[in-house]
Amino acid sequence: MVGFNTIALLRACGLSQPAMTPASIVAASVAMVVALVVRFMSSSSRVNLRPRMTFLCVGLYHTSMGDDRLIVPAESSVLCESCGYTLDGLPTSGLCPECGSPIAQSTTGDGRGLPSWEDVSVERGVIWRFLSTTAAVLITPKRFYRSLATRADNRAALNFARIHWGLSAILFAGALSIHVYWYERLLLGPILPGGPWLIWAAGAPVTYAFLWFTNRLAARLSAWEAGYRGMRLPLNVVLRSLYYHAAHYQPVSLVAFLTVLGNWLLVRFGVISEASAQRYLIVLCSEVLLGAGYLFKTYWTGMKGVMYANR
């Protein structure tokens, strides 16, 4: 286990604690991320593990690859949900020859179905179905993705994502606008016309577009890498998983918004002084790092839950 301390890292770079600036804090945070990635790459390359997902900069799956192109299983093939072994032609009452798991767990008894959000047969309102699905994604993501029907129409899943992208965009844009307004007051005095509201209003749609674009890009890269590694993970399946993964932006955006708003209110009413800006920036940078790690971890969980799905 590797531990990092931002203050110690800055001092090692020749910066004393009183001399720290927002730029130096951000630089130290970036250095921490690079060090963690390098550490992960060096450690994972020394261990021979079965195929699993890893960081995007390393590859979706890290296994030794030959020069020959791998063959991706056909969409009609039946894969073992435990190990990915092709079960075509085997009786559903048997066991997987590779891992010994019951074949029925990958076929008739796979437990996959529509989530509450898409199940219109549930005698509940749309708000209840939305909140129920959001709670399932946030609280039990492994169970949710392991029971998610992956070969279904994605229109409802896209609408689910749009709601969460919209809410998250409002919170992210609000955090950015308040932070910029606070920073301007700290250095130059209030110079933004209309306070933070203008940036907030303009930043929300830009943030929404950014979330949409990054999800589309991540889906295409994930599907491409999976095919390159010989894994069956079609683009529509990846998109469906990422649409429901959009719920995980909520806690990240909410924590960031409350942190920025709380700092501004405490300074505004004199509870803390502007001298506490250093601690605030360190907390904010730490939240950025933790939020990025949380989002990738939940993405990883989602991809593992659907990569061997047959329906």
pLDDT digits (tens, 9 = 90+) for 84-111: 999 998 998 899 998 999 999 998 888 9
Question: What does the alpha-carbon distance between residue 114 and residue 117 come to, in Å, rounded to a whole number?
Answer: 8
Q: For residue 292, count other CB atoms closer than 10 A to its CB.
A: 12
Mean pLDDT for the stretch of residues 232-238: 94
pLDDT at 39: 55
What pLDDT score was predicted for residue 23? 52
Q: How far is CA 121 from the centre of its chain?
A: 30
Share of the chain above pLDDT 90, in %: 53
Residue 275 has pLDDT above 50, yes or no: yes
Sign of the C-alpha dihedral computed for residues 55, 56, 58 and 62 taken in this order: positive
Residue 297 lies in a domain: yes
Q: Is residue 255 scored above 60 in pLDDT?
A: yes
Q: Which tokens belong to 72?
A: 């991706």
The mean of the pLDDT values for the chain is 81
CA distance 162 to 214: 13
Q: Two tokens at 291?
A: 């939020």
| Phi, psi of 13, rounded to the nearest 5 degrees | -85, 5
* pLDDT at residue 38 tops 70: no
72 domain-assigned:
no
pLDDT number for residue 31: 59
Looking at the predicted structure, is the pLDDT value of residue 81 above 60? yes
Report which of residues 225 and 191 the model is more confident about: 225
**Nearest residue to 170 via CA among 244, 261, 238:** 261
Owning domain of residue 37:
6-44
Q: Does 186 map to a domain? A: yes
SS3 call for 306? helix
Sequence-separated (6 or more) residues with CB below 8 Å from residue 273: 267
pLDDT at 104: 92
Which pair of structure tokens corresponds to residue 239?
Answer: 């998109």
pLDDT classification of 54: cutoffs 50, 70, 90: very low
Of 26-30, 46-50, 185-189, 259-263, the one with minimum mean pLDDT is 46-50
In angstroms, the CA 152 to CA 12 distance is 53
Q: Give yes or no: residues 37 and 135 share one domain.
A: no
157-166 residue pLDDT tens: 999 999 999 9
pLDDT at position 194, please?
Answer: 65
Q: Is the pLDDT of residue 174 over 60?
A: yes
Distance from chain centroid for Cα 246: 8
Overall domain count for the chain: 2
Let me know whether 196 and 300 are in one domain: yes
What percentage of the chain reaches a pLDDT higher than 70? 75
Residue 90 lies in a domain: no
Which of 194-208, 217-231, 259-273 holds the top average pLDDT? 217-231
Q: How many CB atoms lie within 10 A of CB 136?
A: 20
pLDDT of residue 27: 56
pLDDT at residue 250 is higher than 80: yes
Whether residue 208 lies inside any domain: the answer is yes
Claim to verify: residue 149 and residue 21 sit in the same structural domain: no
What is the Cα–Cα distance from 12 to 4, expressed in whole angstroms? Answer: 12
Q: Which residues pair with 86 in a beta bridge?
A: 79
**Domain assignment present for 191:** yes
**What one-character DSSP code corresponds to residue 130?**
H
45 pLDDT more than 50: no
Could you tell me if 208 and 166 are in contact, meaning their C-beta atoms sit under 8 angstroms apart? Answer: yes
Q: Quick one: how far is CA 163 from the chain centroid?
A: 16
Q: Are 184 and 190 in contact (CB under 8 A)?
A: yes
Same domain, 130 and 228: yes
Q: Tell me the average pLDDT across 212-225.
A: 96
Lowest mean pLDDT among 103-107, 176-180, 275-279: 275-279
Transcribe 140-201 into DSSP letters: -HHHHHHTB--SS-SHHHHHHHHHHHHHHHHHHHHHHHHHHHHHHHHHT-S-STTTTHHHHH
In a domain, 101, yes or no: no
Residue 203 lies in a domain: yes
User: Same domain, yes or no, for 136 and 238?
Assistant: yes
The predicted structure's pLDDT at residue 30: 57
Distance separating alpha carbons of residues 67 and 90, to the nearest angstrom: 31
Q: 141 and 35 in one domain? A: no
Confidence of residue 198 (pLDDT cuts 50, 70, 90): confident
